[in-house]
Amino acid sequence: MLVKKKVLFLNPPGKKIYIRDYYCSKVSKAYYLPQPVDLLIQTSFFNKSEYELLVIDCIAAKFSIEKALDKIKSFVPEVIIGMVGAVSLDEDIDFFNRIKKLIPNVKVLASGDALLENHEELFKQYTWLDAIITNFFNDGSKKWIENNLDEASGIVYRIENKKVSKSDKKESKLDLNVPHHELFLKGNYRMPFANAMPMATVLTNYACPYPCTFCIMSTMPYITRSAESIIDELIELKRLNYKYIYFSDQTFFQSKAITKQVLDWMVESKFGLSWMCFSRVDVLGKNEIDLMKKAGCNLIMFGVEFADERYLKKYKKNYTLDQIRETFSFTARAGIKRLGTFLIGVPGQSRESILETLAFAKEINADYASFNVAVPRANTSFREQAIEQGIIDDSVKVMDQSGDEVTMGTGKLSREELQQIKTKVNLSFYLRPKYILKRLFAIKNWTEFKMHIREAYHIVK
């Protein structure tokens, strides 16, 4: 009889609603929580006929530390594939140390933004850590578990306490197996823009080919999935009775032919589920937006970032304010809601510049605005510049772009001043009487109403 190796996919507990995935950890600004996509994709590499698999998402399940440890102890995993976030680094280190004391022989592989640099030093500091997943779109974890090290990539691991690194694969198209959505807590994941529940997360491509200097995604190899593998996953999600899809791509519709094939299938098959995504204003034109609407898209998130052409050029966004205005206009006419993400707190930025960003968010008539505080993420040139300018030093490891705790000032604004102005721009955008009425009249069903009320409560809280 075949004895299956036990593999646990673990999102640790936390004092706050931590979102640790996709090398970009943060505190949930309100109550939203997508599936941890690193773990989700990693499950696709493991066959249930060969492995006994378990997902414990302590954030989604609201597990305390003790409850989480009890669950882990009862499963007795041989391998843990876990998450470590810069936003929750101290808590995560403590938790994995406790696991290692509880199950000394367990092997721990981890993915997260806190593990992208200085691997030799990390292995010295974190004795509980056996391997680091540097590209969760690769099956290096499975190869490592099976001791097939010659073929392992997207992973850094110990050999006699020394780091061994393998380069990432360079496929342009990947036939990914369907991730094991059935292992995750159905109904415990949510986004404030979902008009139906339960919600599932789907990733059609990995990383991003654009060179934005403040973003980690530009430093990773861009890979897209085949249309067939994406469609297979959508079919499975409908079979599992999911009602809403969050496409968590950094740039949806970047791979034009593949995405068009998927969307055409969604229209022709009458797939029938609503969905949202993140994209760029210079990727989506009128034809793409119209097709997305036909396929069920109800919201698009755009990285606007700045209201100043100089900043757009400096940080290599490579589009203009007029392109932003035009794409927001196309999207509005198609009947799709628009969310703009805006970056505040970059080195040298003044209060006036941030208020211009707020004014631009209102001008383009964004349905929602997400004001994110700049953070010096590992492996980015943005971090290198912040260190060179003396705004931070290299010891800064804990960071949160949501602004729950501001990591650095701008040189013109202190951390405290930046925190205050972030609160001001949020209140100014969302507490306009005209805006509140617009949002209320746009609610179409009970699910949307509950989501809006819950998000509003947690924002105020």
| Parts of the chain belonging to CATH 3.20.20.70 | 191-430
Distance, CA of 144 to CA of 134 (rounded, Å) = 13
Give the class (CATH, top level) of 191-430: alpha beta
pTM (2 decimals)?
Answer: 0.92
Domain 5-165: assigned CATH number: 3.40.50.280
Distance, CA of 167 to CA of 411 (rounded, Å) = 38
Q: At residue 172, does pLDDT exceed 90?
A: no
| Parts of the chain belonging to CATH 3.40.50.280 | 5-165
Distance, CA of 161 to CA of 314 (rounded, Å) = 41
Dump pLDDT digits (tens) for 411-429: 899 989 999 999 999 999 9
**pLDDT score, position 298:** 97
Which one has a higher pLDDT value, 253 or 169? Answer: 253
Among 25-34, 104-113, 323-332, the range scoring the smallest mean pLDDT is: 25-34
Q: At residue 461, does pLDDT exceed 70?
A: no
Instruction: State the SS3 of 99-159.
Output: HHHHCCCCEEEEECHHHCCCHHHHHHHCCCCCEEECCCCCCHHHHHHCCCHHHCCCEEEEE
**pLDDT score, position 396:** 67
- In the chain, how long is the greatest CA-to-CA distance? 70
343 class by beta-carbon count within 10 Å (0-12 exposed, 13-18 middle, 19+ buried)? buried
**Mean local confidence (pLDDT), 202-223:** 90
Dump pLDDT digits (tens) for 131-151: 999 999 999 999 999 999 888
Distance, CA of 295 to CA of 316 (rounded, Å) = 31
**pLDDT score, position 30:** 78
**pLDDT score, position 334:** 98
Q: At residue 401, does pLDDT exceed 70?
A: no
Task: For the chain, report the end-to-end CA distance as a whole number of angstroms.
Answer: 54
Q: At residue 395, does pLDDT exceed 70?
A: no
**Mean local confidence (pLDDT), 232-259:** 97
Dump pLDDT digits (tens) for 421-453: 999 999 999 999 999 888 888 887 877 777 777
Residue 31 vs residues 8, 404, 427, 433, 450: alpha-carbon distances, Å: 26, 13, 17, 23, 12
